[in-house]
Structure 1
Amino acid sequence: MLRGRGKTLYNADAEWDRFRPNWYQRRHYRSVRDDDRRILTHTRDHFAAHAPGEGAVGLDVGPGPNLYPALAMLPFCSRVDLIEYSSTNVQWLQRRAAGLEADDGEDWAPFWAVLAENAAYAERGGDQPLRQVADKVVVTPGSVFDLPEAQWDVGTMFFVACSISSEVDEFYEAVRCFLHALRPGAPFAAAFMIGSDGYQVDGVEFPAVRVGQTMIEEAIRDMAGDAKVIPIPSGGGDPLRDGVEMALALGLRAG
């Protein structure tokens, strides 16, 4: 439920076109937080160990103004599809995919530097992360609930399933749709907020489901092989939101 409210807010009810990507990026991705670093490190090593074959196509569902999940896939892909529901986020992402200048205070190089600590990234990635975005990323308006099945070779979904609705069934459905969109054997990384009741973006409220590690494990159990859910301590003493932690699910899409 939304904080301070006693009603369920479904995904279709939220005001996604009022999402403010510049505000969100400056607040959450102006620098590499300790929790970001942990997520990037685990995701990086998982993808490097299970790199898809030549010509692979990646999927990032609901990126909003967060480019680091896409950066984690780019060295292994000929194309990365960003599927985003909010029109304001779509416009923000399209500017990046068009190679336009980043906004004031926006710098993805430190995030790329974490990825490049792994030799597989350092050898394939170069030193200009936004150039890679412009070369390989395709932005498409769309919903996690409408993804076609078995179309992508590697995938990410960061802070989406838990943060688009306050309805538990929609959380499980979002995870199912994401995993079904991947081909058998595809490596994936999915990040979640733990214990969130909702959040604000520049004064506009958005919903969340209060999930825990057991719920995440249940959501991926039947569709993922070699899967694990890793607790991510929030912020190294500087939590992103009071009482909220994170978790990262890594695995391979079951066959």
Structure 2
Amino acid sequence: MVEKSSGEGHGNAEYQWNAFDSEAYFQHYYGEPHPDDDLVIRVAVDALRRASAAGNALDVVDVGTGPNLIPFFCTLPRARRLTAWEYAATNVAWLRAELENDDMRPQWRHFWRVAREAYGPGWGLPENPIPLLREKCVVTQGSVFDLPARSWDAATMFFCAESITERQDEFEAACATFARSVRPGGMLAAAFLVRSEGYVVADRPFPVLKLSPETIERVFRHHADAVDARLIGIVDREIRSGYSGFIFLTGTAR
């Protein structure tokens, strides 16, 4: 794979993030649950179950959450406190409104069931996680580039750093601040799109940077130990809007 040079492609600031149509994104990407979504949940839960001692409650940040509760479902059983770190004002408002609604959408009921099954018996997880999420979760508006350092025990990032820019240098900067947001020894878990040409939300184009596992491992080895990036869920056809699988990364913050 040929990587873009640092300054090649459109940068993050060139896109209208505060015009992002959160509901249109949700309906397109999660309106109909896909087995690939279930697979993301299972591999993320597997990583989170192994983060620190199983009985320890963690301060967790999810970076670039977007209009998506899946990251919360993956982290809730391990979280003492959960921070959603999201830039777009529309997504922040959408997330806050979603957490105020006790009547879960059918899609969330499906994804929460997948997460509960992935954790297995013994965790005492409720049928409806929304009230508990409301207690534990804080939705914070902020840029990935401005994440405070060494502030959390674990961090997750689902399809964010590669979906905010076409520039390699900005992608690497986002990965660096993500990795540094966790205290030394803490867990990092992230999923990245594969074979995407970008995405369109309500007729507005947004970027994606093409990546390989080797590229991601190289970037994270500067900031983390025990780095492992692997291709998961790769198929020979598009899943949604130009992507056909994902790369899942785990590592330990330095």
Distance 1:25-1:243 versus aligned 2 partners, 3 A rule: closer
Q: Which deviates further from its counterpart, 240-249 or 82-91? A: 240-249
Q: TM-score, normalised by structure 1?
A: 0.88
1:78 is displaced (CA, Å) by 1.7
Matched, 1:138 2:138: yes
Deviations 1:161-208 (A, max 9, x none): 101011110011111110000111211211111232321001101112
Matches of residues 162-181 of structure 1 in structure 2 within 5 Å?
A: 162-181=162-181
Query: How much identity, in percent, do the aligned residues show?
Result: 32
Question: Corresponding residue for 1:116?
Answer: 116
Residue 10 (structure 1) aligns with:
11
CA distance in 2, matches of 1:238, 1:31: 15
**Residue correspondences, number:** 246
Measure the CA separation in 2 of the matches of 1:36 and 1:132.
Answer: 23
Larger displacement relative to structure 2 (176-185 or 7-16): 7-16
61, 64, 70: which one pairs with 1:62? 64
**TM-score, L = length of structure 2:** 0.88
How far residue 89 of structure 1 moved from its aligned partner, in angstroms, is: 0.3
1:74 is matched with which residue? 76
Task: Please give the root-mean-square deviation of Cα atoms over the aligned residues, in Å.
Answer: 2.2
1:147 maps onto 2:153 in alignment:
no
Output the CA distance in 2 between the equivalents of 1:159 and 1:102. Answer: 26
Amino acid at match of 1:47: L
| 3-state SS of 1:171 partner | helix
Structure 1 CA distance for aligned equivalents of residues 41 and 188 of structure 2: 13
Uncovered stretches (5+) of structure 2, i.e. residues with no partner: 1-7
Structure 1 residues 41 and 196, CA, compared in 2 at 3 Å: closer, same or farther? same
SS at match of 2:182: coil
Paired AA for residue 39 in structure 1: V
8 A Cα contact 1:23 1:201, kept in partner: yes
Provide, for residues 55-92 of structure 1, a one-character-per-residue CA deviation record: whole Å limited to 9, x for no partner: 52110011111111122111111211011110100100
Residue 150 of structure 2 aligns to a residue whose secondary structure is coil
After TM superposition, list the pairs within 5 Å mapping 1:207-246 onto structure 2. Answer: 207-234=207-234, 239-242=239-242, 244-246=244-246
1:3 maps to none
Give the whole-Å Cα distance in 2 for the aligned partners of 1:107 and 1:216.
30
User: What secondary structure does 1:162 align onto?
Assistant: helix
Mind listing any 5+ residue stretches in structure 1 that lack a counterpart? 1-6
For 1:193, the equivalent position in structure 2 comes to 193
How far has the Cα of 1:125 moved from its partner?
2.3
